[in-house]
Amino acid sequence: MAVITLHDLAGVLTECAGADEDVVLTSESLDVTFTDLGYDSLALLETAATVQQRYGVTLSDDEVSEITTPREFLDLVNQSAVQAA
Amino acid sequence: MTATATSPAPGTAGDTTRPSAVVTGIGVAAPNGLGTEAWWQATLRGESGIGPVTDYDASRYPSRLVGSITGFDAAEHIPGRLLPQTDRVTRLALVAGAEALADAGADPAELAGQDGYGDYSLGVVTSNATGGFGFTHREIRKLWTEGPQKVSVYESFAWFYAVNTGQLSIRHKLRGPSGVLVSEQAGGLDAIGQSRRTLRQGVKLSLTGGMDSSLDPWGLTSHIASGRLSRGTDPATAYLPFDARAAGHVPGEGGAILVLEDATAARARGARVYGEIAGYAATFSPRPGSGRPPGLERAARLALADSGLTPESVDVVFADAAGTPAADEEEATALRSLFGPYGVPVTAPKTLTGRLYGGGAPLDVAGALLALRDGVVPPTAGIGRPVAGHRLDLVRDTPREGPLRTALVLARGHGGFNAAVVVRAAGAS
């Protein structure tokens, strides 16, 4: 099962929630909240749906709704990928 | 102030203490021009935006002409974050909304912080009749071919009639009383009427008007199913209201967004005023076959009464111009009853755009305001054989110049909606 990286996540976020020239996801954004990065709950739901399809993981809506930062998102997906493997 | 027997009650027609609502900004997205001045100049030149469908193969559709906005690159105008969540109609509304606010010299964030304003003193009331059709078409196709997991979460609101109002509200932080009016092609005037109502309740600035866009394959199919579309294939003669050849309308996309302000507040910030929304009324026609008269004339009379004016003071009428013989006859009868035969110049610049649903009447109000500003009535295009029995003074083919102070805008929506707005030139009271 593929592991999702910050770079991958940044790509899916742009695809699902649109590009913003002022916001570039780097390692320094790992612990910045999605809210501060300009992504609302719908953007996260849309991104989570695409990640689930692409990485073959299953995330519950409750799990997704508790994500607040990119690091939490990556950890959740990668842990789910490990469990599914 | 001493009340006398002849003083109108506060808040009613003719009450001069009632705050007036003035238009200070105009934004336009129309098939024959993107942007207010581009559209207005094209309209005066008689340039049409009606043509064949070019986005897909419509050769087997019974109606193949549309008024579509070409050369609109949403990414040029809309922040990237908004693109995945917006249908074309909302992108057009956002562009016209931004144009209107810039035209008014109004920065909502700045105004909200000023004395007399506040967080809830700025609102949005728009009209829409068909929602986010193209977006929904795409997502519903995904639903049936790829499954529900593939459907965009943004479909939850991108389809919705209120979405233009919502996105304008979010984008410009207009947090006061807001809403959407859905009354088919009368909705644009109803939105302006409701917007004016919010001003009377204390709102200082309200973005209003309307926008529609539903010319994708599914949208056009739905319009065709109404049975009211022209099947003509010549763009010059497909939509001919008040003409002996009238046989339905061409559907178009677009509309206008207006900045409506409390006149006192507008004056205080030194805003340029196009004109006043001096009167508004809406009526509902009785069911067909009831034997009772349709409601358009009553809407016009009520709007005039609301403005404190009489038919004699109307200098031009922007007609609904449905483009079917029966509906045109009904409107011509109302106009004769109000003004007498050939009693007032009548025009329908929408012959250059097609009918724009929730966006059509606000575009006519924009046209009325610019007509008052420039002292020129924009022409109705293509009417070569006016129905003699209508006895209308149609302004045909070329603009008619002259001083104008008052315009009446009429609109009807399928299902019995009628609305009228009286527009008065700035300083004409």
Instruction: Note whether A45 contacts B: Cβ–Cβ < 8 A.
Output: yes
Give the lowest-confidence range in B13-27, B136-150, B402-416.
B13-27
A3 against B62, higher pLDDT:
B62
pLDDT at A85: 62
Q: Which of B66, B64, B381 is nearest to B243 (CA)?
A: B381
Among B79, B80, B153, the residue with its CB nearest the CB of A45 is B153
Of A18, A21, A45, the CB nearest to B82: A18
Give dist(CA B279, CA B14) in Å, integer. 10
- Taking contacts as CB-CB distances below 8 angstroms, the residues of chain A near B154 are 42, 46
In tens, the pLDDT along B174-221 reads 999 999 999 999 999 999 999 999 999 999 999 999 999 999 999 999
Q: Is the pLDDT of residue A57 over 60?
A: yes
Give the nearest chain A residue to B79 (CA atoms): A20
Q: What is the DSSP string of A2-54?
A: PPP-HHHHHHHHHHHH---TT----GGGTTS-HHHHT--HHHHHHHHHHHHHH
Give the three-state DSSP class for B274: coil
Under CATH, what is the fold of the domain B21-268? Peroxisomal Thiolase; Chain A, domain 1 (3.40.47)
- Does the CB of A50 have a partner CB in chain B at under 8 Å? no
pLDDT one-digit tens code per residue, A20-35:
877 888 889 999 999 9
pLDDT of B3 above 60: no
| Burial environment of residue B87 by CB neighbours within 10 A (0 to 12, 13 to 18, 19 or more) | buried
* Residue B218, CA distances (Å) to B223, B228, B274, B342, B344 in order: 9, 16, 38, 41, 40
pLDDT band at B288 (very low <50, low <70, confident <90, very high): confident
pLDDT in tens, A40-55: 999 999 999 999 999 9
Is the pLDDT higher at B19 or at B351? B351
- Does A40 contact chain B (CB < 8 Å)? no
**Domain range summary for chain B, segments of one domain joined by +:** 21-268, 279-425
> Which residue type occupies B298?
R
Residues 6+ away with beta carbon under 8 Å from B242:
B319, B321, B328, B332, B346, B348, B380, B383, B386, B387, B390, B392, B394
Q: What is the pLDDT at residue B180?
A: 98
B82 in contact with chain A, both atoms CB, cutoff 8 A:
yes
How many CB contacts within 8 angstroms connect chain A with chain B? 34
Instruction: Evaluate whether B21-268 and B279-425 have a shared fold.
Output: yes
Range scoring the smallest mean pLDDT among B5-19, B93-107, B183-197, B209-223? B5-19
d(CA A58, CA A52): 6
Q: Chain A residues with CB inside 8 Å of B82's CB?
A: 18
- Across the interface, whether the CB atoms of B79 and A20 are under 8 A apart is answered yes
Closest chain A residue by Cα to residue B152? A46
Instruction: Please say if the pLDDT value at position B11 is more than 50.
Output: no
Query: Percent of chain B scored above 70 by pLDDT?
Result: 95
**CATH code matching the domain that covers B279-425, chosen among 3.40.50.10470, 3.40.47.10, 3.30.1200.10, 3.40.718.10:** 3.40.47.10
| Dist. CA B44–CA B37, nearest whole Å | 10
The highest-confidence range among A1-10, B145-154, B359-368, by mean pLDDT, is B359-368
- Chain A residues in contact with B143 by the CB 8 A cut-off are none
CA B350, B356, B357, B360 torsion: positive or negative? negative
- The verdict on A42 touching B (C-beta cutoff 8 Å) is yes
- Can you give the pLDDT at residue B5? 39
Q: Which residues pair with B362 in a beta bridge?
A: none
B255 burial type by CB count under 10 A (0-12 exposed, 13-18 middle, 19+ buried): buried
Within chain B, how many helices (H) and strands (E) appear? 13, 16
Query: In this model, does residue B12 exceed pLDDT 50?
Result: no
The shortest C-alpha distance from A82 to chain B (Å) reads 22
Residue-wise pLDDT for B141-173, tens only, equals 999 999 998 999 999 999 999 999 999 999 999
Residue B9 scores a pLDDT above 60: no
The whole-chain average pLDDT of chain A stands at: 90
Q: Between chains, do A19 and B80 touch, taking CB under 8 Å as contact?
A: yes
Query: Two tokens at A70?
Result: 């990119």
Domains and CATH numbers, chain A: 6-17+32-84 (1.10.1200.10)
Average pLDDT over residues B19-38: 97
Q: Which amino acid, B292?
A: R
| Interfacial B residues in 115-154 facing A (CB < 8 Å) | 149-150, 152-154
